[in-house]
């Protein structure tokens, strides 16, 4: 327990000390909100789909969370390069608890990031249903964060350096994001897109957030919750296994 706690604490400290990371990672969601939210708003409205900013915001929240989460997980590579990883790997504690501590820390940080995005989006006009929806959304934010931090940890355990990072952003994060229903509704899509969105775990995250905040879920909150938590568990186990095999 104390291992999990101290590693969690370390992630939190590193987060709030890196002001530039916090500010930098908020620029992109803000840009998306303004450019897409207001740019596509009129068309969306004409197509009879309602307010696009309302629709888009949960997607943007999810985006900021997965970027932050995958990055937190992949931070292992930093630790490897700066040498700190050795310090944890040689310690008389189980590697599973190290991995879980890191993952919980990364997930907490990413959820906070998501909360800040909710705050920003409210400044530009977003409104959620009730306080209860916010609490429910928090649950989904945490699940998305957990899943993708664990995924980042698993990937980071396999990588020796940062050379592959761009690859992961371009071939994993971007496709996951754009094919998740974060920026367009999942109804009435071409068959291939529907299939891709259905097997994309992030779709359930975005859908859960939308369902929680606005009450308009496509798959249904229970399905979203089950898929996300089941998958998180699996990925955490895979990540823990890969992390336990890391060599220096």
Partner 1 sequence: MNIIEAQNLTKRFGELVAVDSVSFGVEKGELFAFLGPNGAGKSTTIKMLTTLLTPTSGKITLNGYDPIENPDEVRHSFGIVFQDPSLDDELTAYENMDFHGVLYGIPRKERQVRIEQLLKFVELWDRKKDFVKHFSGGMKRRLEIARGLLHHPQILFLDEPTLGLDPQTRNHIWSYIKDLSEKEQMTIFFTTHYMQEAERVADRVAVIDHGVIVAQGTPDQLKQQTGAQSLEDAFLDLTGHAIREETADNWERVRRMRGVRR
Q: Catalog residues that contact partner 1 under the rule CB under 8 A.
A: 2-3, 5-6, 10, 13-14, 17-18, 82-84, 86-94, 247-248
For residue 12, the minimal CB distance to partner 1 (Å) is 12
- CB contact set of 74 (below 8 Å; sequence gap of 6+): 152, 153, 155, 156, 159, 165, 168
Q: Quick one: 5 or 171, whose CB is closer to partner 1?
A: 5
Question: How many CA atoms are closer than 13 Å to the CA of 27, on its beta-carbon side?
Answer: 6
Q: Quick one: 10 or 241, whose CB is closer to partner 1?
A: 10
By three-state DSSP, how is residue 83 classified? coil
What CA–CA distance (Å, rounded) separates 116 from 61?
9
For residue 90, the minimal CB distance to partner 1 (Å) is 5
Question: b/e string for 26-56 if b means 16 or more Cβ within 10 A?
Answer: beebbebbeebbeebbeebeeeeeebbbbbb
Q: Quick one: 94 or 170, whose CB is closer to partner 1?
A: 94
What CA–CA distance (Å, rounded) separates 122 from 138?
16
For residue 55, the minimal CB distance to partner 1 (Å) is 38
Q: Quick one: 23 or 248, whose CB is closer to partner 1?
A: 248
For residue 110, the minimal CB distance to partner 1 (Å) is 18
For residue 149, the minimal CB distance to partner 1 (Å) is 18
For residue 134, the minimal CB distance to partner 1 (Å) is 31
Q: Quick one: 187 or 247, whose CB is closer to partner 1?
A: 247
Rounded (5°) CA angle 212-16-143:
25
What CA–CA distance (Å, rounded) separates 77 from 137?
31
Q: Quick one: 2 or 191, whose CB is closer to partner 1?
A: 2
Give me the sign of the Cα torsion angle 106, 237, 196, 212. Answer: negative
């Amino acid at each position: 327990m104390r291992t999990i706690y101290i590693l969690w604490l370390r992630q939190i400290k590193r987060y709030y000390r890196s002001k530039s990371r916090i500010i930098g990672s908020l620029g992109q969601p803000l840009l998306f909100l303004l450019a897409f939210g207001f740019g596509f708003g009129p068309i969306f409205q004409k197509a009879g789909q309602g307010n696009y900013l309302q629709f888009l915001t949960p997607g943007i929240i999810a985006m900021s969370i997965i970027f932050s989460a995958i990055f937190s997980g992949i931070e292992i590579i930093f630790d490897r390069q700066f040498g700190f990883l050795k310090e944890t790997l040689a310690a008389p504690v189980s590697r599973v608890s190290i991995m879980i501590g890191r993952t919980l820390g990364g997930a907490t940080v990413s959820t906070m990031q998501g909360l800040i995005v909710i705050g920003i989006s409210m400044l530009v006009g977003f409104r959620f249903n009730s306080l209860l929806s916010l609490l429910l959304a928090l649950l989904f934010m945490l699940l998305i964060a957990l899943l993708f931090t664990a995924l980042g940890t698993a990937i980071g355990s396999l990588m020796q350096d940062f050379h592959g990072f761009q690859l992961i952003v371009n071939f994993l994060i971007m496709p996951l994001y754009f094919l998740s229903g974060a920026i367009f509704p999942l109804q009435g899509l071409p068959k291939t897109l529907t299939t891709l969105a259905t097997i994309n775990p992030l779709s359930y995250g975005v859908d859960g957030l939308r369902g929680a905040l606005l009450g308009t879920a496509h798959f249904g909150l229970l399905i979203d919750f089950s898929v996300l938590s089941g998958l998180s568990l699996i990925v955490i186990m895979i990540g823990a296994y890969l992390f336990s095999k890391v060599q220096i």
